[in-house]
Every structure is written in C-alpha cells, then in structure tokens.
Amino acid sequence: MITLADVRAAAARIEGRVLRTPAVPSAAISRQVGAEVVLKLENLQATGAFKERGAANRLSLLSDAERARGVVAMSAGNHAQAVARHASLFGINATIVMPKHTPSTKVVRTQGWGARVVLHGETLAEAAEHAHKLAAEEGLVFIHPYDDDGVMAGQGTLALELLADFPALDMLAIPVGGGGLIAGCAVAASAIKPGIEVVGVEVAAYAALAQRLAGQPVSVGGATIAEGIAVRDIGERPFAAIRAHVADVLVVPERAVEAAIALLAEEAKQVAEGAGAAGVAAMLAFPERFAGRKVGVPVCGGNIDSRIHANVMLRNLLRDGRLTRLILEIPDRPGVLADIAGTIGEAGGNIIDVSHHRLFAAPSVQAAQLEVMFEARDSTHAGEIVAALESRYTVRRA
C-alpha cells in the first residue's frame, strides 16, 4: 500500500507540471446542505480534471527505455487527456483507447494533445482489453488510470493541498470510479490528520465499491451522466487502501448529480461534469450525513459537452418550477391568446414558447389546445401564475 511519503514524493515530482488548484469556501452550497463546504477546483487543471496529478507522476517514473517505447492508456476521457498532455510534455508517444460513445469534447481534446486516439468497445472494460492488446502487440507501456501505485500517489496530492489550505476540515467527500483518487487522498488525509472521515461517492448505476464492501456480487451498468466514474471494477491496489482508510460509501441517484451540476453552475459559478459534481450530489442527497461538518469536496472535472450542460440546466429549471409547461383547453375564439398572454405577463411571468393546436389535438371543433412554456422566479411564483390561469381555463401541466 502507498504511504504518505509516496504522496509527498509525488507532489515534489509534479510541482510546476500540474496546477496547484485553489480551494474555495462555497457559502451558497454550505447554506443549502447545512455544512461548511470547501470546493477544490480541479476543473481548472489544464485538461479540466484531477487526472493530471496521477498521469504526471506515473510518467515521471518511466525509465528512458520505457519512454522510448511509448505509452498506451484506456480512459473515458480525463485520464486520456492527462496522459496525452504529459506524454507530449515529456516527448513520449501516446496511444489512448476510449469507448466508442465517449463524449466528443473529450475525444477532440485528447487528440489535441497529440495522442493517437482509438475508439473501441461499448464500455471501459472493453476499451481496457483492447489497450492491453495494443500494449502487447506494439511494445507500449500500459498506464492504468487507477490500479497503479504511481497514479494513486499522484492523485493523493490533491488531499495534501486541500488540508494545507484548510487544516480544519474534518471530512472529505470523494467521487469513486476505479478508486485511485479516493485511495490516494484517504492515505494522505488519514496520515496528516488522524480521525478525518473520508467518504466515497458513487452513482447508482455504477456502485461497484458499495457492493463489494457489502460482500455483494458486483453488478453495474446503464446510462449515467457521470461517465467519468462509470467503472465496472474497483482496482485491487485502491481497494486495499479504501478498506483501511475510507469510512463509508454513499450511492447517489442521477437526479442528484444533475442537481449538483446546476447548483455548481448557478451558485459556485463552476462548470462541472457529472463525475466532478458527484461529491456535491452526495451532500444534496444525504444532507444529514454532512450536517455541521467541515467538508472538503473536489470538483474533479469540468469536461462536459455544452449541449449536455445546457440540457441539465433546463431540466433543473423545469424541476424547480422556474420553467413551467402547461396545456390549456381553450375556446376557439378571437382574443383568447391575448388574454392568456396578458394573464401570464401581468402576474410577472415571461412566455418562452407557445404552440397552438386547432385541428387535431382539441376535443371539439369549437375548442383549441394551447401549449405554453413560461419562466417564473421560483416554484411559488409559478404556482401563482398557474392559479390565475386556472381561474379562467382548464389547465394541466405538461
């Protein structure tokens, strides 16, 4: 198992190669979850994620002969970019195998660092098998994204920085994919501050660690916005450190991850991908677990497609009532549309979209159906607007 000395040695190796990211208190998130929350902004790394730390340390440990052979890695995106970037800085040829459906932003950015990108397989496990095959066929050095002592030690430097900046923290909430980040951070944090509680966070579709710790057979899979932690297996090296130093694992639903992405964007002014927002999602889903604590949370990554981010924000607006979609059954006569628009406007709402159906959707030839979406200040305000419309028309939520 790696030690604090390994993590400190990694910190010395990567100094100047990896950004020492800021850690900032978030008053808005703290108020919402009832804890003192400090965000470690790993989304500000050059490749947009914490994976820079492990990749930089692991590549620093290569011999001259290994550097000459080149490296290969498998990744859903962030490890890919990190290996590609630091291989480029070291003058090492890099091949990255990514699952076929990896978000395009991560593929393009990985290629932008000069790596050869191979899209293979439906899952990270299938990509890993192909990466190992390429390593054997082409003599490349395989750089594992998490089941590697050098990578884990590099990731643990995040906790060194966080506790140096905020030594009063008594809890860390760390997203878990393959386990490299939480293992490195737990080793470092427990050595620096004995008694600190380190909690892991997984998404419901990929709760391999929670299942394994509970002695259950591991069964994972399905769609998730947190593709960065959608990992089938926990690494054996990380698992040993996790069993020794991690207090608990929380499993969060997709909806909490989406809410966390929106909360970070609106209140903390930070762009986070699903995996990067998982720690905040845990606080939203289990506020009682964090109440009254001083919690450090890494915003692990910010590599999210703009379209997906926009969709998450709109979905959140619909869920909390700031956007409301209604279907109204209305008489088909002049002035009705103007009356509805006036009712919404007088109540302070802002109409976003209107769709008027006469021929097929309405139950009578003398009636029409109107679909309207409007913007309100909050759910209470939206309710007031709906009540004003209901006083005149038959209304149902879409």
- Is 209 within 8 Å of 176 (Cβ atoms)? yes
**Residue 34 three-state SS:** coil
pLDDT in tens, 249-293: 999 999 999 999 999 999 999 999 999 999 999 999 999 999 999
Domain membership of residue 149 (yes or no) is no
What tens digit of pLDDT does each residue of 362-391 get?
556 567 889 999 999 999 999 999 999 999
Q: What is the pLDDT of residue 398?
A: 82
Amino acid at 7: V
Contact 290, 298 (CB under 8 A): no
Kindly state the tokens that stand for 272: 């986070």
Kindly report the CATH number assigned to the domain that includes residue 325. 3.30.70.260
Residue 38 in any domain: the answer is: yes
What band does 241 get if pLDDT is binned at 50, 70 and 90?
very high
Residues 71 and 122 in one domain: yes
Number of structural domains found in the chain: 3
Same domain, 306 and 223: yes
Token pair of 95 as six digits:
């091949």
The CA distance from 4 to 258, in Å, is 34
What does the mean pLDDT of the chain come to?
A: 94
Which pLDDT does position 358 carry in this prediction? 64
> 35, 286 in Cβ contact below 8 A?
no
Last residue of a domain, one of 266, 296, 315: 315
Per DSSP, the three-state class of 200 is strand
Q: Which two tokens stand for residue 168?
A: 């009063």
300 and 330 inside one domain? no
pLDDT of residue 361 exceeding 60, the answer is: no
> Does residue 148 form part of some domain?
no
Residue 357 bridge partners (DSSP): 369
Which residues span the domain enclosing 379? 321-397
Point out the domain boundary residue: 113, 142, 171: 142
Tell me, what CATH number does 71's domain have?
A: 3.40.50.1100
Query: What is the Cα–Cα distance from 289 to 283, expressed in whole angstroms?
Result: 8
Q: What is the mean pLDDT of residues 200-228?
A: 95
Same domain, 172 and 281: yes
Residue where a domain terminates, one of 315, 332, 358: 315
Q: What angle do CA 264, 266, 272 make, to 5 degrees?
A: 30
